[in-house]
């Protein structure tokens, strides 16, 4: 028997590890492209590796959050970790773009599902007036992933190839899933309905036939993915890899065995009295969570994600197909609204977000995301434009000064939520962030060489961190217990969508300034004798690049101020400091 703090600690570690995976792919992307047969100069073809993860992370969050409300936090945490581990396995074995994107999508689903379940778990374990600090800690470890992720990737890539990153993810995911699944708490409330179905005691005998079928599927599937050269060249074993038709590796004897094993394993999970994975109870939970509504909302969110994530911000706000993606998103949104009115048990229960702080938290989170992405993307770009034009590492270290202050602010913001209003703390945090951006908008060519450049970075990072816990606290305090998972998911979704829209819009606005500053370039080229390599021409390019970043920083400051004003207005009724204290751990799996 372990305490709730240990449970929350394990969940927080899982959130941090999944968050690190979001950023680790940045370093591994060139090698992953090579393994998928994509030339390094065709970076746009690798966009699905990133957008696939985002689709899984964002589009499935509302459904996962709702399932966490119906089935319980711990079962969803375990399932999310298993899905994350499976996605890591598929990614590590991937041999082409479809298999790689599939793995990244599963990683996104699992990694994203950890966040709302963990935030809702905080609401289960702590009364409203004591949630601030644990919410701040969860927010801190989530943001800490942006610091640890690149460092973790760099360390692994120094001793192994990119597949090693995802194999480590696989091991950590499975260990954490087993640890959380094995945890027992007391006293435990009786579980009813969907919370109790299919949760067999840990001490029961495992499904040996299910284990055998799973083992066959994994072993043969891994051989199909990797096609070891030693076996391929062997006269006997090599016949297992010869396709019966065409050249597809899944039409071989090994491929057919792998697919048959997977199918039989699924059948076993549906028909067995005590299956290894109780798919029947999970299917019931998915239906009760409103699968149709979740799919409509996923299409709506997916359209927005694809429209902005597949765009080239240097020339467009959204991609060439963006209008069609957005049109599809609009149609799905309208259908979702109609569905909510007609469904007996909709994904978003009637009145679930009726209180002003609840829907206000979604708006505030959107603008926080729109401002935050400017720091994550444009601070390193500014460093590359100015003094670190030949070092990606040094440019990234400039951003680390911002990122280190962010989790500190998250913990402090959570602590202050005990005694101060969520609106005030959020507003102060976003005003600090806006102030940091405004100072950045005055940086010059050599500002980063001065120690004073650290001030706006630390102030901005601390300000963003300060605002994270109060937003979550306001949402949880203004929604009913049985929708905390869904509510937490909506906050995360809003921030991710804000980041996507923000980076496209702010970068496009910044580029207009960039092109306006290039008016003197033709004259400079003539002075340089037609070449673009002389100091005068290079300096003008840098000035234009700096002007672009200044515009982005100014736009981000505006977004931060909007978030601050909204927080003061919409969080006035959020009782984050004192409400009833009867919440205890009500879902242990």
Portion of the chain with pLDDT greater than 90, in percent: 30
User: CA–CA separation, 222 vs 262, rounded Å?
Assistant: 13
Structural domain span for residue 525: 359-575
**CB 466 within 8 Å of CB 404:** no
**CB 155 within 8 Å of CB 148:** no
In a domain, residue 236? The reply is no
pLDDT at 522: 56
**CB 488 within 8 Å of CB 73:** no
**CB 109 within 8 Å of CB 57:** yes
In a domain, residue 228? The reply is no
Portion of the chain with pLDDT greater than 70, in percent: 85
Identify the residue with better confidence: 577 or 260.
260
Domain boundary among 161, 185, 209: 185
Range with the poorest average pLDDT among 141-150, 292-301, 381-390, 472-481: 141-150
User: CA–CA separation, 408 vs 137, rounded Å?
Assistant: 9
Q: pLDDT tens across 62-89, in order?
A: 999 999 998 888 899 999 999 999 999 9
pLDDT at 487 over 60: yes
318 phi-psi bin (left φ>0, alpha ψ -120 to 50, beta other): beta
Question: Which pLDDT band holds residue 361 (cuts at 50, 70, 90)?
Answer: very high
35 phi-psi bin (left φ>0, alpha ψ -120 to 50, beta other): alpha
Q: pLDDT tens across 225-271, in order?
A: 888 888 888 888 888 888 887 777 888 899 999 999 999 999 999 99
In a domain, residue 11? The reply is yes
Which tokens go with 329?
């998103």
Contacts of 295 (CB under 8 A, 6+ apart): none
3-state helix, strand, coil in the chain (%, to 5): 75, 0, 25
pLDDT at 304: 85
Which tokens go with 81?
């970790």
pLDDT at 582 over 80: no
The C-alpha torsion from 447 through 451 and 455 to 460, rounded to 10°, is: 60
DSSP 448: G
Q: Scanning the structure block, which residue is given the tokens 């979740």?
A: 294
Other CB atoms within a 10 A radius of the CB of residue 291 amount to 15
Within a 13 Å sphere around the CA of 135, how many CA atoms are in the beta-carbon half? 34
In a domain, residue 195? The reply is no
**CB 488 within 8 Å of CB 115:** yes
Q: Residue 351: what are its φ and ψ, rounded to 5°? A: 80, 5
**Which is it for the CA torsion 487, 493, 496, 499, positive or negative?**
negative
The C-alpha torsion from 78 through 84 and 86 to 89, rounded to 10°, is: -140
DSSP 302: H
User: CA–CA separation, 499 vs 370, rounded Å?
Assistant: 4
Question: Which pLDDT band holds residue 392 (cuts at 50, 70, 90)?
Answer: low
Q: Scanning the structure block, which residue is given the tokens 């994203």?
A: 112
pLDDT at 557: 96
Question: Which pLDDT band holds residue 585 (cuts at 50, 70, 90)?
Answer: very low
CATH code, domain carrying 38: 1.20.1250.20
Domain boundary among 127, 157, 185: 185
Question: Which pLDDT band holds residue 196 (cuts at 50, 70, 90)?
Answer: very low
Q: pLDDT tens across 319-334, in order?
A: 677 788 889 999 999 9
In a domain, residue 398? The reply is yes
The C-alpha torsion from 248 through 254 and 260 to 262, rounded to 10°, is: -90
pLDDT at 580 over 50: no
pLDDT at 197: 41
When pLDDT is averaged across residues 177-203 and rounded to a whole number, the result is: 53
When pLDDT is averaged across residues 274-294 and rounded to a whole number, the result is: 89
When pLDDT is averaged across residues 425-450 and rounded to a whole number, the result is: 93
pLDDT at 331: 95
pLDDT at 588: 28
Q: Containing H/E element for 86?
A: helix 73-93
User: CA–CA separation, 498 vs 180, rounded Å?
Assistant: 32
Terminal Cα-to-Cα distance of the chain (whole angstroms): 14
305 phi-psi bin (left φ>0, alpha ψ -120 to 50, beta other): alpha
Contacts of 450 (CB under 8 A, 6+ apart): none
User: CA–CA separation, 107 vs 167, rounded Å?
Assistant: 12
pLDDT at 539 over 70: no
In a domain, residue 367? The reply is yes
pLDDT at 212: 93
Q: pLDDT tens across 132-167, in order?
A: 888 888 888 877 776 777 777 778 888 888 888 899
**CB 461 within 8 Å of CB 563:** no
User: What separation in angstroms does the CA of 198 have from each of 1, 69, 450, 544?
Assistant: 22, 16, 61, 62
Q: pLDDT tens across 94-121, in order?
A: 888 889 999 999 999 998 888 888 888 8
In a domain, residue 409? The reply is yes
Chain centroid offset of residue 473 CA:
20
Please provide the average confidence, as pLDDT, over all residues in the chain: 82
Identify the residue with better confidence: 404 or 390.
404
pLDDT at 430: 97
In the chain, the number of structural domains is 2
530 phi-psi bin (left φ>0, alpha ψ -120 to 50, beta other): left
When pLDDT is averaged across residues 304-311 and rounded to a whole number, the result is: 76
3-state secondary structure of 574: coil
User: CA–CA separation, 261 vs 271, rounded Å?
Assistant: 15
Domain boundary among 185, 202, 237: 185
In a domain, residue 253? The reply is no
User: CA–CA separation, 335 vs 339, rounded Å?
Assistant: 6
């Amino acid at each position: 028997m372990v305490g709730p703090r240990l449970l929350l600690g394990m969940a927080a570690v899982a959130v941090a590890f999944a968050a690190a995976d979001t950023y680790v792919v940045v370093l591994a992307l060139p090698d992953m492209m090579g393994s998928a047969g994509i030339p390094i100069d065709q970076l746009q073809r690798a966009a699905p590796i990133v957008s696939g993860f985002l689709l899984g992370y964002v589009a499935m969050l509302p459904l996962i959050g709702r399932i966490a409300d119906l089935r319980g936090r711990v079962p969803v945490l375990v399932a999310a970790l298993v899905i994350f581990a499976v996605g890591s396995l598929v990614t590590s074995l991937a041999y082409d773009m479809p298999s790689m994107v599939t793995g990244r999508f599963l990683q996104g689903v699992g990694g994203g599902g950890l966040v709302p379940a963990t935030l809702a778990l905080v609401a289960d374990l702590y009364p409203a007036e004591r949630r601030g600090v644990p919410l701040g800690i969860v927010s801190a470890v989530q943001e800490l992933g942006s610091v640890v992720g690149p460092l973790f990737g760099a360390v692994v890539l120094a001793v192994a190839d990119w597949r090693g990153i995802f194999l480590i993810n696989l091991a950590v995911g499975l260990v954490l899933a087993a640890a959380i699944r094995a945890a027992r708490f007391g006293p435990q409330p009786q579980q009813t309905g969907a919370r109790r179905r299919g949760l067999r005691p840990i001490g029961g005998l495992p499904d040996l036939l299910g284990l055998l079928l799973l083992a066959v599927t994994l072993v043969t599937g891994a051989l199909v993915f990797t096609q070891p050269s030693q076996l391929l060249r062997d006269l006997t074993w090599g016949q297992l890899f010869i396709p019966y038709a065409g050249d597809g590796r899944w039409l071989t004897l090994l491929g057919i065995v792998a697919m048959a094993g997977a199918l039989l394993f699924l059948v076993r999970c549906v028909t067995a009295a005590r299956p290894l994975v109780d798919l029947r109870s999970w299917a019931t939970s998915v239906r009760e969570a409103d699968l149709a509504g979740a799919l409509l909302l996923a299409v709506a969110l997916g359209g927005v994600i694809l429209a902005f994530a597949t765009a080239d911000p240097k020339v467009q706000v959204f991609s060439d197909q963006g209008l069609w993606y957005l049109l599809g998103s609009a149609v799905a949104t309208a259908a979702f609204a109609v569905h909510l009115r007609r469904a007996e048990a909709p994904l978003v229960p009637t009145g679930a977000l009726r209180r002003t702080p609840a829907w206000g938290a979604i708006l505030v989170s959107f603008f926080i995301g729109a401002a935050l992405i400017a720091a994550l993307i444009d601070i390193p770009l500014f460093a590359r434009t100015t003094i670190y034009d030949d070092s990606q590492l040094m440019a990234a270290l400039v951003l680390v000064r911002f990122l280190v202050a962010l989790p500190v602010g998250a913990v402090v913001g959570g602590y202050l939520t005990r005694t101060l209003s969520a609106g005030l703390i959020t507003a102060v945090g976003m005003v600090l962030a806006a102030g940091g951006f405004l100072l950045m908008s005055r940086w010059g060519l050599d500002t980063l060489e001065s120690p004073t450049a650290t001030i706006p970075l630390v102030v901005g990072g601390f300000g963003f961190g300060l605002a994270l816990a109060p937003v979550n606290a306001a949402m949880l305090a203004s929604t009913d217990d049985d929708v905390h998972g869904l509510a937490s998911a909506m906050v995360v979704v809003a921030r991710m969508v804000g980041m996507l829209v923000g980076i496209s819009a702010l970068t496009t606005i910044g580029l207009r300034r960039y092109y306006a500053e290039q008016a003197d370039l033709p004259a400079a080229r003539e002075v340089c004798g037609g070449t673009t390599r002389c100091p005068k021409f290079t300096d003008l390019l840098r000035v234009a690049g700096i002007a672009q970043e200044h515009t982005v920083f100014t736009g981000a400051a505006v977004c931060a101020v909007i978030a601050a004003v909204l927080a003061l207005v919409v969080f006035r009724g959020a009782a984050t400091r004192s409400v009833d204290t009867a919440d205890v751990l009500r879902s242990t799996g």
